[in-house]
Amino acid sequence: MKNKKRLIIVIASIILIAAVLITIELVSGSTNLASLFTKTNNFVNTDGDAPQDQADLSLQDVLNKNNEDLLKLVDTRKQVVFALYGTDEKTEETGRSDIIMVIKYDPTEKKLIMVSLPRDTRVNVPGYGMDKINHAYAYGGRILSDQTIEALLGIKLDFSVNLDFETFSKIIDKVGGVSVVAKKDFYYNEDNSLAIKQGKQILNGRDALFYVRFRKDEDGDFGRIERQQEVIKSLMEALSSTSLKQRINLIESFYNNGLETDANVSKIKEYVSMSSGDANISYESYRLNTYSEIIGGLWYEIYNQGDLDTIKNLFSNQEAVDPENWK
């Protein structure tokens, strides 16, 4: 009985301290939710690895709910525009981006726009001249790739993310797979055995990776882009159905450990936490239209200015970007 009373006193004391911190922050007019997130989370072990008795679970549940309620007090989110690169560091194409997407999320409209840029698109790579857009990553990593996209689309990126394919596969497994509707049967190139059958199904990480990288058919890179967008959308929907704690754990597990970005981890967690209540998100997918042409013995994808302007218009209402917002 004495132990139970001590536990109740400890819980009440921690909640009281958290309430005092919240009051101080609100009275001072501070809107730095990242600092509040850090303060309250100092009380909680988010690893989820160590076994806990029922009393510990009850305490953690209370504090997690306090964190979620706290982060919903003030929604300071703005539109976010970022680049997503998918790379495989273990192939002969090391250093080249296999997936190139620009993503915009508008929290007011609850709308997410994905724009894919064909990896062979002929563009001006700053400092290197006209070249394939995926070569920018080989020449200068995320920084040069960001500069190339910003110059091409006339936008300013809030940040960029490079996701290696091994991590991509692991994340999909963590959320229980992704739902796709395969338009046909897909076969392994090595022995022509069936890899993915036609129709609706849930793919694990390994099969999803095969699905987004396959291009040995008449659809080529364009078919692959369509499947990439399908899987990214499905992954985001799967993530939205997980708990806030699970999403935070994923960020902490893979941040600069397979998921490389110039955005500060606390800023990412803050945005994700404030987005935890977003529902009925609409998704729009686009691809820069191109046609194939051989120039100097190399195969390129060429765009018309009108088609490029159509893509640029998707970002025409971009809010002013403050480089410090995500640093």
**Is 138 a member of any domain?**
yes
The answer on 45 and 84 residing in a single domain is no
Among candidate residues 21, 40, 71, the one where a domain is terminated: 71
Please give the tally of structural domains in the chain: 2
User: What does the alpha-carbon distance between residue 230 and residue 60 come to, in Å, rounded to a whole number?
Assistant: 36
The answer on 162 and 21 residing in a single domain is no
The answer on 26 and 87 residing in a single domain is no
How confident is the model at residue 264, as a pLDDT? 95
**Is 324 a member of any domain?**
no
The answer on 124 and 248 residing in a single domain is yes
Collapse the DSSP code of 132 into the 3-class scheme (helix H, G, I; strand E, B; otherwise coil) and give the result.
strand
Structural domain boundaries, residue 67: 2-71
How confident is the model at residue 325, as a pLDDT? 82
The DSSP bridge pattern shows strands 298-302 and 291-295 to be: antiparallel
**Is 326 a member of any domain?**
no
**Is 310 a member of any domain?**
yes
Residues 6+ away with beta carbon under 8 Å from 66:
15, 18, 40
Q: Which of 148, 152, 150 is nearest to 137 (CA)?
A: 148
How confident is the model at residue 70, as a pLDDT? 52
pLDDT single digits (tens) 46-72: 444 545 555 556 666 666 665 555 545
More confident residue, 72 or 296: 296
**Is 165 a member of any domain?**
yes
The answer on 153 and 177 residing in a single domain is yes
Whole-prediction pTM: 0.75
**Is 325 a member of any domain?**
no
How confident is the model at residue 44, as a pLDDT? 42
In angstroms, how far apart are the furthest CA atoms of the chain? 83
Collapse the DSSP code of 159 into the 3-class scheme (helix H, G, I; strand E, B; otherwise coil) and give the result.
strand
The answer on 109 and 144 residing in a single domain is yes
Among candidate residues 16, 45, 71, the one where a domain is terminated: 71
The answer on 253 and 157 residing in a single domain is yes
pLDDT single digits (tens) 143-196: 999 999 999 999 999 999 999 999 999 999 999 999 999 999 999 877 788 999
How confident is the model at residue 58, as a pLDDT? 66
Q: Name the amino acid, one letter, at 160.
A: S
The answer on 132 and 253 residing in a single domain is yes
The answer on 62 and 85 residing in a single domain is no
- What is the rounded average pLDDT of the residues 201-210? 96
Collapse the DSSP code of 106 into the 3-class scheme (helix H, G, I; strand E, B; otherwise coil) and give the result.
strand
The answer on 87 and 56 residing in a single domain is no
The answer on 128 and 224 residing in a single domain is yes
Among candidate residues 12, 41, 71, the one where a domain is terminated: 71
**Is 55 a member of any domain?**
yes
DSSP collapsed to 3 states, 47-72: CCCCCCCHHHHHHHHHHHHHHHHHHC
**Is 287 a member of any domain?**
yes
- Between 104-113, 265-274, 317-326, the lowest mean confidence (pLDDT) is in 317-326
Other residues' Cβ atoms within 10 Å of the Cβ of residue 112? 20
